[in-house]
Amino acid sequence: NDTTRIRPIEKYNWTATPVFLNSIWRTGNYLNLRMKVEYSEKPRQFGLVVDSLTLKNPQPEVYLVHDKQGQPENYMMETYASFDMTNVWSLPTCQSIKVHVNDINLKKDVYIFTKKQ
């Protein structure tokens, strides 16, 4: 499924809940993440969101949004996520994407993936 949403990033609290990122990579039109997140019994907000104000830029800005929405602290569980970025990656103006991640492991919050020409 295409889980990339096109809305202004200001509508999301993308730094609400950090993830423990192990790796991030691109495969074709997909952005893949291997990470640990806190377990919660109730649904959370989790998705990849592109800032619509940057869509026409050569490097659109994409944010991993993770918000436990007030759930209590819990143990970390390992998980994978894969997001279809076709609606951003296929834009004629897109040369690369800048991915923002609120990460407590690798201590890097920006990853850039460039199209190979």
pLDDT at 10: 64
What are the domain boundaries of the chain? 4-114
Give the model confidence (pLDDT) of 9-46 as tens digits: 666 677 778 889 999 999 999 999 999 988 777 766 77
| Cα–Cα distance measured from residue 30 to residue 70, given in angstroms and rounded to the nearest whole number | 30
Q: Domain 4-114 sits in which CATH superfamily?
A: NigD-like, C-terminal beta sandwich domain (2.60.40.2370)
- Residue 85's φ and ψ, nearest 5 degrees, are -105, 20
Nearest Cα residue to 81 out of 23, 38, 14: 23
pLDDT tier at 76, thresholds 50, 70, 90: confident
User: Tens of pLDDT along 6-19?
Assistant: 566 666 677 778 88
